[in-house]
Amino acid sequence: MINQSIWRSNFRILWLSQFIAIAGLTVLVPLLPIYMASLQNLSVVEIQLWSGIAIAAPAVTTMIASPIWGKLGDKISRKWMVLRALLGLAVCLFLMALCTTPLQFVLVRLLQGLFGGVVDASSAFASAEAPAEDRGKVLGRLQSSVSAGSLVGPLMAVLQLRYRF
């Protein structure tokens, strides 16, 4: 177990990085139909279909990859699993911007699910490193970063659409 000041610093970084990751993921939801329409000349039904598939896609590969990443985190390092998930997410967000077809976008979202798992990795790291008497409080606070990111992400998208920035 690490000392209290290092743990508090790690937790702040963990909270902020998870907040940014979740905000980055959820900003996509209101913008996705517009983005899909910009990729190809699609009908409204096709836009809805591709958007739905793209939103659901990471869940498929996350379901497969999460147990593997969890086992690897137990053997190697939970901190490295957090870094892996954040880096995987960053690379996938960058690749999403380069997509030129809905299929490419869905494939990158599948890749995101394979290398993602920010929330799971962060929770495992926090529960392993937090002082035993504070684990419930720490996990509750960490979950607040998911809620805050889920709130801020779509609001950022709406502001972007409204004010064109």
- Give domain limits for the chain: 4-163
> Which helix (H) or strand (E) segment is 78 a member of?
helix 78-98
pLDDT score, position 116: 85
Quickly state the pLDDT bin for 2 (edges 50, 70, 90): low
pLDDT score, position 10: 87
Residue 35 near residue 50 (C-beta atoms within 8 A): no
Instruction: Give the chain's mean pLDDT.
Output: 93
Q: What is the mean pLDDT of residues 91-98?
A: 95
Conformation bin of residue 2: beta by default, left when phi > 0, alpha when psi is -120 to 50: beta
27: DSSP letter:
T
As given in the structure block, the two tokens for residue 160 are 């972007």
Rounded Cα–Cα distance for residues 87 and 47 (Å): 29
Angle at 18 between CA 144 and CA 37, to 5 degrees: 105
User: pTM for this one?
Assistant: 0.87
Q: What is the mean pLDDT of residues 135-151?
A: 95
Quickly state the pLDDT bin for 53 (edges 50, 70, 90): very high
What residue type is 142 in one-letter code?
L
Rounded Cα–Cα distance for residues 10 and 78 (Å): 13
4-163 maps to CATH 2.40.30.30: no
Quickly state the pLDDT bin for 1 (edges 50, 70, 90): low
